[in-house]
Amino acid sequence: MVRFTLSRPPDLAAVADRWQSLEAQAGLSFFQSWTWVGCLAGERFSHPVLLAAEAEGQTVALALFNRRRRWLLRPALHLGESGDAALDSVFVEHNGPVLRRGCEAILPDLLAAALRAPGRAPWGGRRLVLSGVGDAVLQAVITAGGTVRRLQTRPAPLVDLAALRQAGRPFLASLSANTRSQLRRSMRCYAAAGPVTLRRADSVAEAWDMLDRLAVLHQAIWTQRGRPGAFARPVFRRFHRTLLARAVPRGEADLLCIAAGSRVIGYLYNFRFRGRVLAYQSGFDYASAGAHEKPGLTCHQAAIEAALAEGMECYDFLGGEQRYKSSLAGATVPLHWFAAVPRWAVGRF
């Protein structure tokens, strides 16, 4: 017998203990870990709502929402997010409830408990906002009796490193002839300035320094395009400095500098979690790149080959259809952004 509860936790510290105990027994992504979920949690979850499932006195599932009300709309429960655009600029992906291994079948009933919660209750919402979730969560919402609204789906391209390793294939051999040619030519051009190397920040202070340097390059290209760039909001940088202080000592985050001799090609900000590398953010020196130099492709090539050599299972580019991702990736998984309401309540929202 599984018991489902939806409540307002009085203390996020208690949620942290319960969450981290379940993590050890669950299959989850970095974005579902307490390293990410708990970062600035008091600020991001100003009205927290905890959905839990228990069986035989043991917690088998948890999901943390923030309850937010908007003008003319019923209260919504935002899974793993605040519902505030500035705070959510950190952009969650591979999101979803945390489930103990072997308990995946309860997911529809778990989400049904959230959909049934009375909106007038201090923990209710009757509208769920689910960002960056996989197929399993989308199908579970439908099975639970939810109606999906404003569905957006983005592919998350990835490189299956485990398959390459098993086949004994180098990374370049998995790419198209055109992409191989571009990468080899770019590498030759950069190598004229010195050996191409990848250096990983080995302390929190060095990771912060690399993040700042990455941000300068990142903002330069985006402002040139007339776009604000990820670092335009101060909360974005503050979140990630806090996150790095938590994740670097645990080996869950990498700041990488890729250089040719003393010439910096670019920086990558990746997460590392349970055999997966997640390519989260980047900054490349396009300003000094020559005609045949591809800083983005070259930096990711170096990081992918390092991950392959280190025994990682997957290099995940996360959501987006940018051309460089499709050029380097050999597969994709879909991620979904949507709102859900009970079928009987559709006309009220």
Residue ranges and CATH numbers for the domains of the chain are: 2-144 (3.40.630), 157-333 (3.40.630.30)
- Structure-block tokens of residue 199: 């250096």
Q: At what angle do helices 204-224 and 234-247 cross, to 10 degrees?
A: 150
* CA 87 – CA 45 distance, rounded (Å): 10
Query: Measured on CA atoms in the order 187, 288, 215, 224, is the torsion positive or negative?
Result: negative
Tens of each residue's pLDDT in the chain, 349 residues: 899 999 999 899 999 999 999 999 999 999 999 999 999 999 999 999 999 999 999 999 999 999 987 655 678 999 999 999 999 999 999 999 999 999 999 999 999 999 987 655 665 557 899 999 999 999 999 999 999 999 999 999 999 999 999 999 999 999 999 999 999 999 999 999 999 999 999 999 999 999 999 999 999 999 998 998 999 999 999 999 999 999 999 999 999 999 999 999 999 999 999 999 999 999 999 999 999 999 999 999 999 999 999 999 999 999 998 999 999 999 999 999 999 998 865 544 4
Report in angstroms the alpha-carbon separations of 15 from 51, 62, 152.
11, 9, 30
Two structure tokens written together for 236: 């974005």
CB neighbours (10 Å) of residue 237?
16
Q: How far apart are CA 143 and CA 248, in angstroms?
A: 39
First to last CA, the chain: 33
Residue 123 tokens, joined: 């923990």
Strands 314-316 and 276-284: parallel
Please write down the HEC assignment for all residues of 104-148: HHHHHHHHHHHHHCCCCCCCCCCCEEEEEECHHHHHHHHHCCEEE
The DSSP output letter for 292 is: T
Q: Under 8 Å CB-to-CB from 26, ≥6 apart: which residues? A: 32, 98, 99, 100, 101
What residues does 130 pair with on adjacent strands? 338
Do residues 244 and 177 touch, judged by C-beta distance below 8 A?
Answer: no
What is the radius of gyration, based on Cα positions, of the chain? 21
* pLDDT number for residue 117: 75
| Paired tokens of 141 | 């919402």
Predicted local distance difference test score (pLDDT) of residue 278: 98
Task: Find tokens 């391209």 and name the residue.
Answer: 157
